[in-house]
Chain A
């Protein structure tokens, strides 16, 4: 019954109490949301590439190799010669190898030359394969497959002609070899969405009349002549490698890193992703800190509300005391109020999070390629909610102790 009275007292102050609850709920939803996005982003990030055992490129840093080969950020310092590529491909440990050739662009998007095997071997989000949404993968020398973002941004459909520019920010376009969009990929949330994929030979083909980054004046080889040429590449930018047995990964990595003919680097994508995330992770800590502050602010707001309610409630406390309640009952009443407010706020916040997730999940996946799974609250989230309630109790202690002292001093006589 005492609890019912405490609850009744809360209900009687519905307006201020509900504002406090709302503030706590919003802060909790924000905190959980940030947490959700953080883990979702981390998972999406780690899922950018899976199924690949090693990434091989010219010797540089592992993060740099990962950045340019997978995320298409920055440039390769050097290439991997075709001979070295062949050597690696012929090693007994190698199950499959897919070359990647970068360096050209189409509008703001990178062009990547590779083999059709890329579509079988490249996996993301724990083993998902690329899916061609419209059309098919490259069948002809001048076919290009574009990622979902490329198609969406530039409004491409299958069979649209596209022109590849040499270099990354360049006005010298390879106008004489127009490509055709042969396929559009399904959205993946990976850098593939922002990539134009052509065959390795196509990369060579567009450079037939080019030397040292400039077109040889007056020279323009017709497309059908190019088709007759030997378009074997001299070098590729990097290669994705799969091994026959996972046990051989480290042996192969050592062998490639010690390759005598050329300075090469082989990295484990998972390890390099971890390294990269540690760099990005500072932002995640900052996000956590900010959302923690918001929760703390909401709880302090609750403390202020309880404090300001103490004066109007001195009569209530005095009645309890006169009826024989010990001062500790008064303390308990206020603690209960704080805990109840925090708990309702926390649960409401959790509800808000799920509403937000249901609405936001497809939008966030589309816009940022971050997949936020809608699961039952994990242990971690339960702990966070519990933490909010405990913090509410601690914060509520301050006005409760004040009420305790007041009710000791007032006794049962309050002259208002």
Chain B
């Protein structure tokens, strides 16, 4: 696929919460190019979570198109959409990213279980997972540790490794640094950028912290692209 095609394209997307017809969200247009790093700035309550769910395909817009890597996700069956998400998108959340009872290794390779194509890109799972860990500055012997025993900073790096494994074209990070202190925040972001650039991965990060702006190719304010409606009934 030529690079000129956007990795993510939202066009006139409208979503209304079922049972709450007065609360809705409208995105006239949003386009993210491959390998671009984009910061989506917005306060809580600006519809960030809803927007991410729409992109990931766990919510389906009532109208408009959500195109990820050239596919209109609304046209896929629910099962195909889940697999498509696993194939195309690496996800990092704010916190509680990992299955605490599972080993670091199992956490990292979890998305590959649901994404056969992504799995095929990884020749030697253990080696790749170990490389990602060391690239992200995690201790060498961490692979068999229980994820729940790690520090929050380490857990976020494991989550990053999980998002990066098998090089999905798009990584979505939802406030990944908000549970980290300032010093750890910076290291984490540097490592994440480094990896995203190394693999040519698009990084879409959501945050309320404008101080991160200068590290990204582009900064989008939620208010500019999203209109939320809260009209009284």
A324-B82 contact in complex given A1-B113, A4-B106, A8-B102, C-beta closer than 8 Å: yes
A412 near B53 with CB under 8 A, answer yes
| A-B contact list, 17 entries, CB within 8 Å | A1-B106, A1-B109, A5-B106, A8-B99, A12-B101, A12-B148, A320-B110, A322-B91, A323-B86, A323-B91, A324-B114, A327-B78, A411-B53, A411-B58, A411-B59, A412-B56, A412-B58
A316-B99 contact in complex given A2-B113, A411-B53, A412-B58, C-beta closer than 8 Å: yes
**Nearest CB of A to B226, in Å:** 16
- Asked if B83 lies at the interface with its beta carbon under 8 angstroms from chain A, I say yes
Q: State which residues 50-87 of B face A: CB under 8 Å.
A: 52-53, 56, 58-59, 78-79, 82-83, 85-87
- Asked if B111 lies at the interface with its beta carbon under 8 angstroms from chain A, I say yes
**Nearest CB of A to B150, in Å:** 15
> How many residues of A sit at the interface, in one of the four size bands?
20 to 34
Task: Please name all residues of chain A whose beta carbon is closer than 8 Å to the beta carbon of B86 when the two chains form the complex.
Answer: 323-325
**Nearest CB of A to B199, in Å:** 18
**What is the bound-complex CA distance between A326 and B81, given in angstroms?**
9
**Nearest CB of A to B111, in Å:** 4
- Asked if A280 lies at the interface with its beta carbon under 8 angstroms from chain B, I say no
Contact indicator per residue, chain B 110-143, by CB within 8 Å of chain A (1) or not (0): 1101110000000000000000000000000000
**Nearest CB of B to A6, in Å:** 10
A315 near B56 with CB under 8 A, answer no
> How many residues of B sit at the interface, in one of the four size bands?
20 to 34
- Residue from A2, A12, A324 with most neighbouring chain B CB atoms (10 Å): A324
- Asked if A67 lies at the interface with its beta carbon under 8 angstroms from chain B, I say no
**What is the bound-complex CA distance between A167 and B59, given in angstroms?**
90
**Nearest CB of A to B147, in Å:** 10
Kindly identify which residue among A2, A11, A324, A415 contacts B87, using a CB–CB cutoff of 8 Å. A324
A325 near B114 with CB under 8 A, answer yes
Task: Please name all residues of chain B whose beta carbon is closer than 8 Å to the beta carbon of A1 when the two chains form the complex.
Answer: 106, 109-110, 113
Interface SS, A side: helix
Task: Please name all residues of chain B whose beta carbon is closer than 8 Å to the beta carbon of A324 when the two chains form the complex.
Answer: 82-83, 85-87, 111, 114-115
Residues of A at the B interface (CB closer than 8 Å) are 1-2, 4-5, 8-9, 11-12, 315-316, 319-329, 411-413, 415-416
**What is the bound-complex CA distance between A413 and B52, given in angstroms?**
9
Contact indicator per residue, chain B 35-57, by CB within 8 Å of chain A (1) or not (0): 00000000000000100110010
- Asked if B160 lies at the interface with its beta carbon under 8 angstroms from chain A, I say no
Task: Please name all residues of chain B whose beta carbon is closer than 8 Å to the beta carbon of A11 when the two chains form the complex.
Answer: 101
Task: Please name all residues of chain A whose beta carbon is closer than 8 Å to the beta carbon of B49 when the two chains form the complex.
Answer: 413, 415
Task: Please name all residues of chain A whose beta carbon is closer than 8 Å to the beta carbon of B93 when the two chains form the complex.
Answer: 322
**What is the bound-complex CA distance between A2 and B110, given in angstroms?**
8
**What is the bound-complex CA distance between A320 and B78, given in angstroms?**
15
B91 near A5 with CB under 8 A, answer no
**What is the bound-complex CA distance between A12 and B79, given in angstroms?**
29
A319-B58 contact in complex given A324-B87, A324-B115, C-beta closer than 8 Å: no
Task: Please name all residues of chain B whose beta carbon is closer than 8 Å to the beta carbon of A4 when the two chains form the complex.
Answer: 102, 106
**What is the bound-complex CA distance between A201 and B82, given in angstroms?**
93
A321 near B99 with CB under 8 A, answer no
- Asked if B28 lies at the interface with its beta carbon under 8 angstroms from chain A, I say no
Contact indicator per residue, chain B 86-104, by CB within 8 Å of chain A (1) or not (0): 1100010100111111100
**Nearest CB of A to B139, in Å:** 21
In the complex, what residue of chain B is closest to A8 when comparing beta carbons?
A: B101
A12 near B100 with CB under 8 A, answer yes
Task: Please name all residues of chain B whose beta carbon is closer than 8 Å to the beta carbon of A328 when the two chains form the complex.
Answer: 79
**What is the bound-complex CA distance between A319 and B159, given in angstroms?**
11
A326-B59 contact in complex given A413-B52, A416-B96, C-beta closer than 8 Å: no
**What is the bound-complex CA distance between A416 and B59, given in angstroms?**
19
A322 near B56 with CB under 8 A, answer yes
7 new A-B contacts at CB < 8 Å, known A321-B58, A326-B83, A411-B56: A2-B113, A8-B106, A9-B101, A323-B162, A326-B79, A329-B114, A413-B49
**What is the bound-complex CA distance between A319 and B158, given in angstroms?**
14
In the complex, what residue of chain B is closest to A324 when comparing beta carbons?
A: B86
**Nearest CB of B to A303, in Å:** 22
Kindly identify which residue among B58, B79, B102 contacts A5, using a CB–CB cutoff of 8 Å. B102
A412 near B91 with CB under 8 A, answer yes
- Residue from A12, A411, A412, A416 with most neighbouring chain B CB atoms (10 Å): A412
**Nearest CB of B to A279, in Å:** 56
In the complex, what residue of chain A is closest to B91 when comparing beta carbons?
A: A322
- Residue from A5, A9, A11, A320 with most neighbouring chain B CB atoms (10 Å): A5
A413-B100 contact in complex given A324-B83, A324-B115, C-beta closer than 8 Å: no
In the complex, what residue of chain A is closest to B86 when comparing beta carbons?
A: A324
A319 near B114 with CB under 8 A, answer no
In the complex, what residue of chain B is closest to A416 when comparing beta carbons?
A: B96
**Nearest CB of A to B187, in Å:** 24
Task: Please name all residues of chain A whose beta carbon is closer than 8 Å to the beta carbon of B82 when the two chains form the complex.
Answer: 321, 324-327
**What is the bound-complex CA distance between A247 and B101, given in angstroms?**
72
Q: Nearest 3 CB-CB pairs, A to B?
A: A324-B86, A411-B58, A324-B114
Q: State which residues 154-181 of B face A: CB under 8 Å.
A: 162
Task: Please name all residues of chain B whose beta carbon is closer than 8 Å to the beta carbon of A9 when the two chains form the complex.
Answer: 99, 101-102
**What is the bound-complex CA distance between A320 and B53, given in angstroms?**
15
- Residue from A1, A4, A9 with most neighbouring chain B CB atoms (10 Å): A1
